[in-house]
Structure 1
Amino acid sequence: MLIGSAAAALDAPDERVMLTVDGHISTTNSGEQALFDRAMLANLDWRTIETYTSFTEGLNRFSGPTIASLLEAVGAQGAKLRAVAADDYAVTISIADAKKHGAILAMEHNGQQMGIRNKGPIWIVYPQSKAEAEAHTYYVQMIWQLVRIEVLAQAG
């Protein structure tokens, strides 16, 4: 569903689509969706974070665009995200929480491009301390093999 009567346009992807964003967005490149290839994602606000996770050992380095920059690129207007993995597993994430904590769409792990066999090609990763990882603070939100994000309407 688009917000407003006419959507702004993104460039079309040149390579294989890695991520589809839809829902309450105003900037698209394929009907009511925004499709992103690796290069398009790499052109967003790319960050490298060092963090602990409940799924890896020790301190790890992850790189990828911020969720905030993706949402800005698509003109997202909502309160929550429905993040969907390649196997149709889905979680709901608070946009405010993801932005506040600087969550990224990790595409590299310890300097290596992530593939489907190692939680890629996109894994939502939150910066967190060892204690937060051990307490599973962002356990549910850290969905891997991400292929789609739906921006859900404002609460209510």
Structure 2
Amino acid sequence: MHIKSLLAACLLAVLPGLPAWAQGLDAPTGRVLLEVSGEIAATNDAAGALFDEAMLRALDWQEVETHTSFTTGLQKFAGPSLSAVLGAVGAEGVTLKATAVNDYFVEIPVSHAQEHSVILAMEMNGEKMRLRDKGPIWVVYPQSEEEVPFKRFDNEMIWQLNRLHIQN
């Protein structure tokens, strides 16, 4: 009993200095937009980590002007970075299985999150993305107009995203 009390006291002493994901995530209060599961350290549900719109907006919200092969001309996307979402859950895997509302999925290397500044776009040109226009979340890789014809990341740019599963 004495050892348990000592361990609890030590844990409480270091908790304030740990990153937010190590302390767990708050439960969503709104409609869940994204479920993250697999090799993660922080959860807020038996399924893994659930995020509503407010939770995603509280991360490092970014605006990116970019081109895609799925749109015409320069577009402005906004949403949290994929890196911030992975950091919030303490992701420890090497591959993401990104799944859409209709169960279509793609695999994305975790390393792409930072290497390519990937965002989970929730807005396009200042408008919230709805299901019928690639929302609620679209994985967007920023690209120049010159890069678009090569379609380098088209397979990874899954729309209607609602689940990420981190795996080794």
Whole-Å Cα distance in 1 between the matches of residues 113 and 51 of structure 2?
20
Partner amino acid, structure 1, of 2:111? A
Q: How many residues are matched?
A: 147
Please provide the CA RMSD for this pair: 1.0
Which of 81, 86, 100 in structure 1 is aligned with 2:115?
100
Question: What pairs with 1:75-86 in structure 2 (closer than 5 Å)?
Answer: 75-86=90-101
What is the CA-CA distance between 1:9 and the residue it aligns to? 2.0
Match of 1:19 in 2: 34
Which of 145, 151, 162 in structure 2 is aligned with 1:136?
151
**1:45-99 deviations in whole A, cap 9, x for unaligned?**
1110000001000000000000000000000001110000000000000111222
Whole-Å Cα distance in 2 between the matches of residues 146 and 118 of structure 1?
12
Q: Does 1:62 align with 2:82?
A: no
What is the CA-CA distance between 1:133 and the residue it aligns to? 1.4
Tell me, what secondary structure is at the counterpart of 1:13? coil
Whole-Å Cα distance in 2 between the matches of residues 13 and 123 of structure 1?
20
Which of 49, 53, 58 in structure 2 is aligned with 1:38?
53
Tell me, what secondary structure is at the counterpart of 1:82? strand
Greater gyration radius: 2
Match of 2:64 in 1: 49
Structure ranking higher in helix proportion? 2
Whole-Å Cα distance in 2 between the matches of residues 97 and 120 of structure 1?
21
TM-score of the pair, normalised by structure 2: 0.85
Tell me, what secondary structure is at the counterpart of 1:27? coil
Identity of aligned residues (%): 51
What is the CA-CA distance between 1:8 and the residue it aligns to? 4.3
Q: Which moves more between the two structures, 29-38 or 59-68?
A: 29-38
Whole-Å Cα distance in 2 between the matches of residues 44 and 94 of structure 1?
21
Whole-Å Cα distance in 2 between the matches of residues 22 and 143 of structure 1?
18
Which consecutive residues of structure 2, in runs of 5 or more, have no partner in the other structure? 1-21
Whole-Å Cα distance in 2 between the matches of residues 131 and 81 of structure 1?
27
Whole-Å Cα distance in 2 between the matches of residues 42 and 97 of structure 1?
21
What is the CA-CA distance between 1:131 and the residue it aligns to? 2.0
Are 1:8 and 1:26, in contact at CA under 8 Å, matched by a contact in 2?
no
Whole-Å Cα distance in 2 between the matches of residues 53 and 98 of structure 1?
17
Partner amino acid, structure 2, of 1:144? W
Match of 2:133 in 1: 118
TM-score of the pair, normalised by structure 1: 0.92
